[in-house]
Amino acid sequence: MRRALAFFCVLLLAGCAREPDIIKQQAYVFGTLVEVSVVNAPGAESALAEVLARFDALHQQLHAWQPSELSRLNAALARGESMTVTPGLASLLREAQALSGQSGHLFNPAIGNLIALWGFHADTPQGHVPDQQVLTALVAQQPSMAQLALAGTRVSSTNPAVQLDLGGYAKGAALDEAAAILKRHGIANALVNIGGNVLALGQAGNRPWRVGIQQPRGPGVLATLELRDGEALGTSGDYQRYFEAAGHRYCHLIDPRTGMPAVGMQSVTLLLHGPRAGTRSDALSKPLFLDGPEHLTAGARALGISHWLAVDASGKLHISPAMQARLR
C-alpha cells in the first residue's frame, strides 16, 4: 500500500491536465508499479508495448534472488569462476562499477550477501535482525565493485564474496532505456514513472509534466515541481522496503561500511538532466542517503549534483538552493 501511495503521488500530479490526449500503460516490475504516459502520436501504442516488454526483460535478467542471468553470474562468482554474460549485462555492470567508484563505493551493488542476510531478498522482508557474528564476518570480506573484472563480456572477481544486487540501479537504467525506445519511435512527449523514479520527455501538451515528491512518513507530497525535457527525478527512501523490530526501523538501504541499514535519513531526492539522467538519479541518491545529513552538501558537490532534497531521520527538510528554486 505504501508503494502504491508513493507511486500515485507522482501519478496524480502528472495526469492533472488531460489535454491533449494522453495514453497510458501500466505494469508491475522491479517490485513496484510502473506507468508510461505518452501524448498520443503515430506509433504511440507500439512504443508503449516495446517499453513495457523491455522492462519485463530487464526484470527477468536482473532478478537477484530468482533464476536470472544475474543469479547465474552470482553463483559462478561464489565458486570463484568467471562467466560470459550478454553484452547488455556487461554494459550495465561497467556503468554500475563506474558509478560505484564515483561514490567512493558507498553505492555498492556487490553487497548482495548483506542484503540477503537482512532478509531483503524476498518479496516481503523477513522481519528480524541477523546474527551479529555472521554480519561482522560478511562485512570483513569487503566485497566491492572494484573487485569485479570485466574483459569484454567475460566477468570474474578476485573476491568470491562479491554478490551482485542491482536493485539500487535497475529502475534508473530502465528509465533511460525507455527514453531511448520512445525516441526511436518518434515519441517526443512522455512521462515514465517507475515507482516514483520519473523521467520526462517534452511536455504534457502545452504545459510541462508536473510531479510530486513523496512525504516519507505519511500520505501526500512534500512539494511539486515541473520536469523539463530530459530531466529525471530519483528518490531513495526508508519507507517502501523495511521492517520494524524492538521499536527500530530497518530499511533495505545497507551501509557497506557497517553492514547495517542506514538510519540518518528518511529520503533523498535528486533532480538530474543530461546523458543517463535516470540511471544517475537512481544510483547516486544511495550514497547521499547512506552518508547522512551532515555530509549531504559536500557529498552532493563531490558528485556534481546541484538539485537535491532530503528529509533526515528527525523529519527536518534539507534543500539545495537550486532545488528550492524549482519547487512549489
Q: What is the mean pLDDT of each run of 10 residues along the chain (328 residues)?
A: 47 48 92 93 95 96 95 98 98 97 97 97 88 97 97 97 95 97 97 95 95 91 96 95 93 97 97 97 97 97 98 96 97
Q: How many CB atoms lie within 10 A of CB 16?
A: 11
Which residues partner with 245 through β-bridges?
Answer: 248
Rounded CA separation 328/212 (Å): 9
The answer, as to whether pTM is greater than 0.85, is yes
What integer pLDDT is reported at residue 148 of this predicted model?
Answer: 97
Q: Which amino acid is at 49?
A: A
The structural domains of the chain, with segments of one domain joined by +, span: 1-328
Q: Which pLDDT score is estimated for 20?
A: 63
pLDDT in tens, 227-280: 999 999 999 999 989 999 999 999 999 999 999 999 999 999 999 999 999 999
CA distances for 219 relative to 28, 98, 121, 216, angstroms = 21, 36, 27, 8
CB atoms near residue 79 (< 10 Å): 10
What pLDDT does residue 139 have?
98
Using one digit for the tens of pLDDT, what is the confidence trace for 276-297? 999 999 999 999 999 999 999 9
pLDDT score for 124: 84
CA-based R_g, the chain, Å = 19
**Beta-bridge partners for 267:** 237, 311
Domain 1-328, CATH class in plain words:
alpha beta
d(C-alpha 305, C-alpha 48), whole Å: 31
Tell me what pLDDT residue 19 has: 55
Q: Dihedrals φ, ψ of 201, to 5°?
A: -120, 130
pLDDT at 7: 46
